Amino acid sequence: MALTPVPVARKALLDSILGPTEAETLPLAQCAWRVLAGDLKALRTQPPFANSAMDGYAVRGDDMAEGAPLAVIGESAAGRAFEGSVGPGQAVRIFTGAPMPDGADTILIQEDADGVGSPTIRVRVPPAKGKFLRAAGLDFREGDALLSAGRVLDSAALGLAAAMGHPSLPVHRKPRVAILATGDELVAPGEPVGRDQIVASNSFSLAALVEKAGGTVLDLGIARDDHADLAAKIALARTAEADVLITLGGASVGAHDLVQEALTRAGMSLGFWKIAMRPGKPMMTGRLGRMVVVGLPGNPVSSIVCGHLFVLPLVEALLGIADADRDRSIPALLGRDMPGNDEREDYLRSELSLTPDGWVATPFDRQDSSMLGTLARAQALTIRPAFAAPAKKGEPCRILPLR
Ligand SMILES: Nc1nc2c(c(=O)[nH]1)N[C@H]1C(S)=C(S)[C@@H](COP(=O)(O)OP(=O)(O)OC[C@H]3O[C@@H](n4cnc5c(N)ncnc54)[C@H](O)[C@@H]3O)O[C@H]1N2
Ligand code: MOO
């Protein structure tokens, strides 16, 4: 079977979902970093009234001349408006955010007035007419459509939604991602490790990626390399109505690589298997009912690289993020000479340095896909396209920043 190029495989995977998760309505305080499930209109105008941008005096622009005296007739503070009107030769003491009194059209900041605090002040530095006045509706008006479905509710968006008058928001339910490690050799961290056993780490790595992308994790533990155990754990994912099942390991061609067969027996239709990438070649996708299945290779680095390239965008697509399939790479320069490449796109763990010419990415010498230590040290993955010609240090490349 020919190897599928990464962008082709990712697009097919994202196209295979039946749509984003349904909406749930949550109070604002629970909406941080969730994804908006509908367009949002302002329920009010902001600011609702003309107000001052500074502490000082509300005055009439026509009165402003150096040395002009002004009688202070009252005070307007935030939450306590001045009810009268400012006439010629008059001023109202005003504070930031307080409503502009009738008759006034300009703010004289207190630093530019003499006699601050006394009943009569004098203009020291005359402001231009309209200075430091915030008009009603300066930010937005009732009915304005300000936030669109698919928007991640970051700090600015969440503050805006509150200011728009929404006490709660429709957000997409967090996709449920079941994670199943497989392999007779695996033991959970903290358990006794036999001579031929290793500690299972991939579930934790993938869970971190899923949670970062906005999903919620159901850890199904470790399945042994036998069909009964695999079938039971796959059934658990279905009972839990997982949106995604990630299997870890058993994806290759060895005699104990049973995962694909177990999934097929459970009714999975295969999407694709084997991708033109290194590490991560034996990755597989499929659909089991509504559940999207992503079968990742067992090698720790392979599973994490596939997580960045496929699982993160998949969770985003399930959250209704429109550009989940975007190119996340950025330009950089090679920090060392590179040999030509074969048919698998390479994702090389690399160190980054920032130079006047931009980011320089230097791939590590050893790129064995079992070596998690180098992945944790890497700041980026340098991408070497399939069939790339040999390249010299300093030539342009693209990188995927990791942190
Ligand atoms: N004859 C061939 N052999 C292999 C090929 C191939 O094309 N022909 N592909 C190689 C590539 S590339 C990869 S990647 C691996 C992936 O194979 P599997 O997905 O079947 O992975 P396992 O054999 O189950 O495990 C590989 C390795 O990773 C360790 N592992 C597994 N699960 C975990 C976990 N949850 N946490 C930590 N480490 C884990 C496992 O113990 C093995 O050491 O196949 C190559 N072989
Ligand atoms: O594709 Mo495998 O992930 O090289 O080790």
Last residue of a domain, one of 85, 104, 134: 134
Beta strands in 55-165 (DSSP E): 56-59, 69-76, 90-94, 106-109, 113-114, 120-123, 133-134, 145-147
Q: Which residue has the tokens 């908006």?
A: 36
Considering the domain boundaries, does residue 221 fall inside one?
yes
For residue 130, which of 68, 58, 80 has the smallest C-alpha distance?
Answer: 58
Same domain membership, residue 275 and residue 151: no
Same domain membership, residue 194 and residue 248: yes
How many A from CA of 284 to the centre of ligand 2? 13
Cis peptide before 47 (omega within 30 of 0): yes
How many A from CA of 395 to the centre of ligand 1? 33
Q: How many structural domains are present in the chain?
A: 4
List 295's β-bridge partners, or say none.
247, 284
Considering the domain boundaries, does residue 236 fall inside one?
yes
How many A from CA of 252 to the centre of ligand 1? 7
Considering the domain boundaries, does residue 324 fall inside one?
no
Residue 284 CA: which ligand is closest? 1
Q: What is the pLDDT along the chain (403 residues), one digit of tens a residue?
A: 689 999 999 999 999 999 999 999 999 999 999 999 999 999 999 999 999 999 999 999 999 999 999 999 999 999 999 999 999 999 999 999 999 999 999 999 999 999 999 999 999 999 999 999 999 999 999 999 999 999 999 999 999 999 999 999 999 999 999 999 999 999 999 999 999 999 999 999 999 999 999 999 999 999 999 999 999 999 999 999 999 999 999 888 777 789 999 999 999 999 999 999 999 999 999 999 999 999 999 999 999 999 999 999 999 999 999 999 999 999 999 999 999 999 999 999 999 999 999 999 999 999 999 999 999 999 999 999 999 999 999 999 999 999 8
Same domain membership, residue 178 and residue 237: yes
Considering the domain boundaries, does residue 234 fall inside one?
yes
For residue 233, which of 274, 309, 180 has the smallest C-alpha distance?
Answer: 180
Same domain membership, residue 248 and residue 378: no
Considering the domain boundaries, does residue 143 fall inside one?
yes
Residue 29 makes CB contacts below 8 A (sequence gap 6+) with none
Q: What is the pLDDT at residue 193? A: 95
Same domain membership, residue 195 and residue 151: no
Residue 249 CA: which ligand is closest? 1
Last residue of a domain, one of 318, 347, 369: 318
- As a three-state string, the secondary structure of 371-384 is CHHHHHHCCEEEEE
pLDDT in tens, 270-283: 999 999 999 999 99
How many A from CA of 381 to the centre of ligand 2? 15
Which CATH number belongs to the domain containing residue 91 in this structure? Answer: 2.170.190.11
Considering the domain boundaries, does residue 75 fall inside one?
yes
For residue 6, which of 240, 343, 287 has the smallest C-alpha distance?
Answer: 343
Q: What is the pLDDT at residue 251? A: 86
- Choice from 3, 209, 222, 252 to test ligand 1 binding pocket (greatest atom count within 8 A of CB): 252
**Which ligand 1 atom minimizes the distance to the CA of 295?**
19
pLDDT in tens, 26-53: 999 999 999 999 999 999 999 999 999 9
Which CATH number belongs to the domain containing residue 386 in this structure? Answer: 2.40.340.10
Q: Which domain holds residue 165?
A: 23-46+139-172
Which CATH number belongs to the domain containing residue 311 in this structure? Answer: 3.40.980.10
- Choice from 284, 304, 369, 372 to test ligand 2 binding pocket (greatest atom count within 8 A of CB): 369
For residue 303, which of 170, 201, 398, 217 has the smallest C-alpha distance?
Answer: 201
The three-point CA angle 41-43-44 to 5° equals: 120
**Which ligand 2 atom minimizes the distance to the CA of 282?**
1
Considering the domain boundaries, does residue 325 fall inside one?
no
Same domain membership, residue 216 and residue 298: yes
Same domain membership, residue 155 and residue 120: no
Residue 306 CA: which ligand is closest? 2
- Residue 187 burial (C-beta neighbours within 10 Å; 0-12, 13-18, 19+): middle
Same domain membership, residue 311 and residue 235: yes
**Torsion over CA: 128, 129, 132, 134 (sign):** negative
Say if ligand 1 is within 6 A of residue 246 CB.
Answer: no
Residue 280 CA: which ligand is closest? 2
d(CA 272, CA 4): 8
ipTM: 0.97
**Which ligand 2 atom minimizes the distance to the CA of 369?**
5
Same domain membership, residue 307 and residue 237: yes
CA distances from 47 to 133, 151, 158, 161 (A): 11, 23, 17, 14
Same domain membership, residue 151 and residue 57: no
Last residue of a domain, one of 134, 157, 186: 134
d(CA 299, CA 183): 12
Same domain membership, residue 358 and residue 283: no
Considering the domain boundaries, does residue 323 fall inside one?
no
Position 333, amino acid: L
How many A from CA of 129 to the centre of ligand 2? 69
Position 102, amino acid: D
- Choice from 205, 246, 299 to test ligand 1 binding pocket (greatest atom count within 8 A of CB): 299
Same domain membership, residue 358 and residue 298: no
- Is the CB of residue 277 less than 8 Å from the CB of residue 296? no
d(CA 175, CA 320): 10
